[in-house]
Chain A
């Protein structure tokens, strides 16, 4: 009997081409996603060395970070953004890499389009020059963000060199209460562990809460693994995973699919496998969450007051600076705080389920006059689903508009910037200073909390809207 292994061990060990003594492992990469911002320098440097792309069929490109979310049929006005988009088109064309650029019907946020087209599969190693690559861990893949030097490594050798991370397991048992979404679950976990508490670890999420979650919910959770410092997070694949993948355009079909499913069924942590650290939480303790500070670990149950610095795990030295930036005070309630902007979208919450949740609250209500709302689907596929399911009509009737796919206000590289000093309730993943625009003040929350804020114009407990 071999030693019991974790899910992470199984996938990692299956990809080690070579282990270097007192050094990293050479890890083979099955899927490589690229986008316009972190790839141009990698191509340039590769060419300066006289190297070529080794496996162009293992790399997939989409434009998302700096693309506009209105009038996508027009030329991109910002010259620098246009230049990056052109570089992506040129580089992918030159080396025969799949490219879903602006205007392509498959275009969208990299971490939304990968799974929805069947590119992401269990047991794979997946990397991208984007820290939210951890999203793909929802399928039982090892997926994580890399820097541009590593993008160049993958282009030229299909490998990267990394030391195997330590292992953390986060178990949440029980059932979450009504109004609590996967976003609340992960914000709760990050608040418990802190924004740096999982640095050096790869996380496995286990327990009833994750088992009963949809694939979209699992993606939301794994997406934010990086926000507690983890290299990535993953969830063991199950029938729900296989059903999601089956029939997706680029997924294996027929006997190939069946054979892979047999393998994928072995991708779970063995009884007795060891973790370096384990946290166990109870689903009943999780309420709708919201952040009050400038890192994702600064989150609280929406009904609770802003904590005292002594009660926070991490960042005591910068706590006052953080609250000062937000214009908040210790002990205040978040409920009733004025909201100027609402952003629904991003690789965290830009999927169909998120729009269904948002629509469930705004249906039959009206957008608050003081709120500017940006509703940005994660892809054209999501956009089409929104229209097909009648969600579009609900949004329009409630006074909202639907924008076109892209990363948008999550990182404000395009024109979707929250002005200085303004407050945004955002379903994205980072509340860093200036993340959504210079001086912008971000409160991270679920699509339900975002919807409640959008119709009331202030931070509101979404449970007041539940029937």
Chain B
């Protein structure tokens, strides 16, 4: 499924200053039972967001009207654990297009890139500046320019570069995905398969 192009995103952000947020927190296993990719956003951060009786937990950030936007800003080592792409789907379906953290788990990062969410890894110091700025003013905006590989905290003008390989960057700028690309390599893959000892 091709996804929307990602060029420049300017938005307020939702802060989640917790470290080691694993994919079981992003979406618990019991909500992985669909056979279609839809509705996962309703269960994003389910057990942090809702009580057992499905009433919202008022102290959780997604239940606080002060915070909104297309960017999720999270603590170090975001997305660890299970490979469930449902975690990335839930984040996308909820409305986020970018996750900012000082460190991402590998599989989660790949899953994001494969569905059109941009993972932006920043320094611990810059992450802290973002959290502080949002705390001071929840409407504070971030600008993420993929082409320039730059994230800017608009209120202070503080900015930082971020890494992404050229191939993935081009994919995201154009909304291409790997499956289309791999189809174009059919011949080379066929040659390899013939030579495989397995």
Q: How far is the CA of A258 from the CA of B76 in the complex (A)?
A: 48
User: B81, B114, B167, B197: which contacts A22 (Cβ < 8 A)?
Assistant: B167
Q: How far is the CA of A22 from the CA of B164 in the complex (A)?
A: 9
Interface residues as binary, B95-131 with A (CB distance below 8 Å gives 1, 0 otherwise): 0000000011111001100110000000000000000
Task: List 17 A-B pairs, Cβ < 8 Å.
Answer: A22-B167, A26-B185, A41-B37, A41-B85, A81-B33, A83-B35, A147-B84, A147-B111, A150-B114, A157-B185, A157-B186, A159-B182, A226-B107, A231-B107, A314-B19, A317-B19, A318-B75
Distance from A186 Cβ to chain B, minimum over Cβ atoms (Å): 16
- Asked if A288 is at the interface (CB within 8 A of a chain B CB), the reply is no
- Among residues of B, the one whose C-beta sits closest to the C-beta of A133 is B83
Distance from A68 Cβ to chain B, minimum over Cβ atoms (Å): 14
Q: How far is the CA of A161 from the CA of B189 in the complex (A)?
A: 13
Distance from A78 Cβ to chain B, minimum over Cβ atoms (Å): 8
Q: How far is the CA of A107 from the CA of B77 in the complex (A)?
A: 35
- The answer to whether B182 and A412 touch across the interface, beta carbons within 8 angstroms, is no
Q: How far is the CA of A231 from the CA of B104 in the complex (A)?
A: 12
Q: How far is the CA of A438 from the CA of B28 in the complex (A)?
A: 9
- Among residues of B, the one whose C-beta sits closest to the C-beta of A151 is B85
Residues of B within 8 A of A165 (CB): 106
User: A17, A149, A231, A438: which contacts B178 (Cβ < 8 A)?
Assistant: A149
- Among residues of B, the one whose C-beta sits closest to the C-beta of A87 is B35
- The answer to whether B35 and A41 touch across the interface, beta carbons within 8 angstroms, is yes
Q: How far is the CA of A316 from the CA of B25 in the complex (A)?
A: 18
- The answer to whether B33 and A161 touch across the interface, beta carbons within 8 angstroms, is no
- Asked if A124 is at the interface (CB within 8 A of a chain B CB), the reply is yes
Given the known inter-chain contacts A18-B188, A147-B83, please indicate yes or no for A28 contacting B196, CB distance below 8 A: yes
- Asked if A394 is at the interface (CB within 8 A of a chain B CB), the reply is no
Which of A20, A41, A161, A199 gathers the greatest number of chain B CB atoms within 10 Å?
A: A161
* Total contacting residues, chain A, CB less than 8 A: 84
Residues of A within 8 A of B33 (CB): 37, 66, 78, 80-81, 83-84, 413
Q: How far is the CA of A195 from the CA of B75 in the complex (A)?
A: 14
Interface residues as binary, A409-431 with B (CB distance below 8 Å gives 1, 0 otherwise): 00111000000100000000010
Number of residue pairs spanning A and B whose beta carbons lie under 8 angstroms apart: 216
- Asked if A23 is at the interface (CB within 8 A of a chain B CB), the reply is yes
Interface locus among A48-56, A237-245, A272-280:
A48-56
- The answer to whether A124 and B198 touch across the interface, beta carbons within 8 angstroms, is yes
Main secondary structure of the interface of A (DSSP, over half): loop
- The answer to whether B35 and A17 touch across the interface, beta carbons within 8 angstroms, is no
- The answer to whether B165 and A22 touch across the interface, beta carbons within 8 angstroms, is yes
Residues of B within 8 A of A44 (CB): 35-37
User: A30, A81, A129, A195: which contacts B80 (Cβ < 8 A)?
Assistant: A195
Q: How far is the CA of A163 from the CA of B183 in the complex (A)?
A: 19
- The answer to whether B83 and A413 touch across the interface, beta carbons within 8 angstroms, is no
* Total contacting residues, chain B, CB less than 8 A: 58
- Among residues of A, the one whose C-beta sits closest to the C-beta of B82 is A131
- Asked if B20 is at the interface (CB within 8 A of a chain A CB), the reply is yes
- Asked if A340 is at the interface (CB within 8 A of a chain B CB), the reply is no
Distance from A129 Cβ to chain B, minimum over Cβ atoms (Å): 6
- Asked if B155 is at the interface (CB within 8 A of a chain A CB), the reply is no
Residues of A within 8 A of B66 (CB): none
User: B86, B106, B115, B168: which contacts A200 (Cβ < 8 A)?
Assistant: B106
- The answer to whether A156 and B29 touch across the interface, beta carbons within 8 angstroms, is no
Residues of B within 8 A of A153 (CB): 178-179, 182
Residues of A within 8 A of B185 (CB): 17-18, 26, 157, 159
- Asked if A158 is at the interface (CB within 8 A of a chain B CB), the reply is yes
- The answer to whether B20 and A295 touch across the interface, beta carbons within 8 angstroms, is yes
Residues of A within 8 A of B35 (CB): 40-41, 44, 83-84, 87
- The answer to whether A195 and B182 touch across the interface, beta carbons within 8 angstroms, is no
Instruction: Kindly list the 9 A-B residue pairs having the minimum CB-CB distance in the complex, ordered from nearest.
Output: A23-B167, A22-B166, A147-B85, A145-B83, A80-B33, A147-B111, A149-B114, A40-B35, A157-B182
Q: How far is the CA of A246 from the CA of B82 in the complex (A)?
A: 32
Q: How far is the CA of A87 from the CA of B36 in the complex (A)?
A: 11
- The answer to whether A412 and B30 touch across the interface, beta carbons within 8 angstroms, is yes
Given the known inter-chain contacts A263-B197, A412-B29, A413-B33, please indicate yes or no for A157 contacting B19, CB distance below 8 A: no
- The answer to whether A26 and B182 touch across the interface, beta carbons within 8 angstroms, is yes
- Asked if A335 is at the interface (CB within 8 A of a chain B CB), the reply is no
